[in-house]
Amino acid sequence: MKKILIFIDSWGIRIITILTLVVFFKTCNTNSKIKESSEKIKTLSETLSSTNKKMDSLVIQLKKEIRKEGLKVEKRMIQSTDRTLLDVHRQSEIDKELTALDF
């Protein structure tokens, strides 16, 4: 135990100084990495926002197409069955909806 205490007494200040310098340089490196990472995150978020705008317009177009196809199928189904006058009114409503979706 005495040998350890003698070693710490003679080399302790030097070891603490070296460890302090190592920790200081490590923290300097960390700050630069944080800045680089924040810049990368910023560019990625800008890229994603522009991509999301494109995706939103695609989603809207797909919803319109799905709605149009559904109305066309409903109209064909009504025409294939001989039913009452209410179906004729629904067919005219479908035509109005289809023209609204085309514009």
Cα(76)–Cα(37) distance, integer angstroms? 57
Q: Where are the domains of the chain?
A: 2-102
pLDDT at site 35: 77
Cα(85)–Cα(62) distance, integer angstroms? 32
Cα(60)–Cα(54) distance, integer angstroms? 10
Which pLDDT tens digits describe the chain residue by residue (103 residues)? 888 888 888 888 888 898 888 888 777 766 677 777 778 888 887 877 777 777 777 778 888 888 888 888 888 888 777 666 667 788 888 888 888 887 6
Cβ-based neighbours of 72, under 8 Å, separated by 6 or more: 98
User: In what helix (H) or strand (E) does residue 81 lie, and over which residues does it extend?
Assistant: none
pLDDT at site 30: 66
